[in-house]
Structure 1
């Protein structure tokens, strides 16, 4: 866990260290949202840019006509996953054998979108939508997704395409029953859920968002309603919690859970990473709101101090 307040920063670890790399799951989507907004600010794309202008989707039916703006707020009409990836079969292989249900290349992903039917433009959470959004923005920038992420938001993020690319610092995730699971890696997956990071990388990213130095910060501003009383920017979710306005996202892969949130008015942020499938949302919201509470005095710690044993 890492917490940042106007008074200082705190990092706590248990059973791991600051160099260990976690799957951050769908927190990848807020990174992709910021890459998209940064590309807009640089004039590379607009909300009205459609996928066929950036990705080779000739002959793919309706998918090519989907706009980047609708993808960023989960209103594209795309399904959560493309039927062409046979999600039921992959889900079975994951639950029974612990296999990676993703692993597709970008070419595989694009092929799976053939004949995908577009539904009504209502809020519908879509991994497929953010996969396509991230790869489209990278093409607009003349780059691959991993390279663009590195160039715009920092060098600490990694997007392994194959398990063979993992190193000794890449943690193995575990199911809720303690079974080690295969890493969720894949080129196609990266923009929606395939990014890895250390707690130090996430703390640095959180700091850059809070101090305004990160690129694509307009992604945090809600531009549409996702559900009643819940707003959405480009990936980032905003809601009221215990009287505070919280901007946040969580993530879950087979063997990892994650949470990131900010109280921008208080200048406080928190991130939680776990190499286990159980949710960490409650811990994230609790710590963030406790440190953001009026009159709360943060521990007098420097940005490099490390404490062990927090949580669990």
Structure 2
């Protein structure tokens, strides 16, 4: 919650005014960006535009781009499995296809039972601790022990963690380096990175808070990276959004829906969701960590996109959809 002190704002004043109308005073550190055929606008409050936020599960969207890019490079195939790239042995998870992971239809659970998710959730709620600190070796151990259910639509953090690290192995590198070399570097994203430990945070990295305003530990972890461990500035998220709209981002085929996620109302590509919002197709993903909420949405037909990022664990989905609808409406005038 805002403590009553004035919040310093940066960037586009009109955009910030619109954002404040939508989010109120529950987001003292918040940023937004809009991209349209008319240009780009960026605004932030409580932190400068170059400060980095946790983007949470928008990281899955980045992994989706890397998956589509790896297919285009023929580093993987549509029938490739986890066991081809990760040392899992003969366990059931080894036979899971990367394609099924990319659309949350692998049969893997949201989290492995061996990670004690209930205990970690309680610790997060009580103490603000990071529930995802595993390194890659621990993740592989969990994967060797996990049961694989019937292939069906089921959102899986574990699945996207394994997918990202398998893509990295297919490219002969680490996930962190894969993000840097294939997304950040070609698109000129200077504040777009995947810290494995708190020590790897950039100086001045934002510390998020829960709904009560209590500081939360950063969500870092080597294993977590592909599913929720990327950090980025609003400026670089704006550049990424522009590249997704004009097709210059690697792996933009990931945006194209290929299957239903929860019935025909929600379709999924490689991580990216597509829904009908007031008779406009919106492609989007959101993110949430202990102290951050994020949303990125595209109206690809109109060439418009919006990003909203907050350093408070209060959803920004509705403000994101509302900003995108207004931006698209203005473009149509």
Shorter-chain TM-score category? over 0.9
Is 1:174 the counterpart of 2:209 in the alignment?
yes
**How many residues end up aligned between the 2 structures?**
296
Q: How far is 1:227 from its partner?
A: 1.2
What is the CA–CA distance in structure 2 between the aligned matches of 1:78 and 1:140, rounded to whole Å? 21
Matched ranges for 1:66-105 at <5 A: 66-105=96-135
Q: For 1:192-214, what per-residue CA distance to the aligned partner results, in whole angstroms no more than 9, with x for missing partners?
A: 00000000110111111111111
Q: Conserved in 1, the CA contact under 8 Å of 2:295 and 2:320?
A: yes
Q: How far is 1:123 from its partner?
A: 0.2
Q: For 1:244-278, what per-residue CA distance to the aligned partner results, in whole angstroms no more than 9, with x for missing partners?
A: 10000000000000000000000000001110100
Q: Where in structure 1 are there 5+ consecutive unaligned residues?
A: 298-312
Residue 236 (structure 2) aligns with? 201
Q: For 1:20-69, what per-residue CA distance to the aligned partner results, in whole angstroms no more than 9, with x for missing partners?
A: 1000000000100010110000000012100010001015x200000000
Q: How far is 1:169 from its partner?
A: 2.5
SS at match of 2:48: coil
What is the CA–CA distance in structure 1 between the aligned matches of 2:301 and 2:220, rounded to whole Å? 36
Is 1:27 the counterpart of 2:58 in the alignment?
yes
Which residue among 262, 273, 285 is the counterpart of 1:249? 285
Which residue among 250, 255, 278 is the counterpart of 1:220? 255
Looking at secondary structure, tell me which structure has more helix per residue.
2
- Higher RCO by CA contacts (8 Å cutoff, separation 6 or greater): 1
Q: How far is 1:97 from its partner?
A: 1.3
Q: Conserved in 1, the CA contact under 8 Å of 2:76 and 2:170?
A: yes
Is 1:110 the counterpart of 2:140 in the alignment?
yes
Q: Where in structure 2 are there 5+ consecutive unaligned residues?
A: 1-31
Cα gap change, 1:58 to 1:295, in 2 (>3 Å):
closer
Residue 191 (structure 1) aligns with? 226
Is 1:237 the counterpart of 2:237 in the alignment?
no
Q: Conserved in 2, the CA contact under 8 Å of 1:290 and 1:296?
A: no
Q: Conserved in 1, the CA contact under 8 Å of 2:37 and 2:304?
A: yes
TM-score by length of 2: 0.87
Q: How far is 1:166 from its partner?
A: 1.4
Q: Conserved in 2, the CA contact under 8 Å of 1:38 and 1:216?
A: yes
Give 4+ residue runs of structure 1 displaced > 3 Å after superposition.
294-297
Deviates more, 1:225-234 or 1:149-158: 149-158
Q: For 1:48-103, what per-residue CA distance to the aligned partner results, in whole angstroms no more than 9, with x for missing partners?
A: 100010001015x2000000000000000000001111111111211111111011
Q: Conserved in 1, the CA contact under 8 Å of 2:302 and 2:331?
A: no
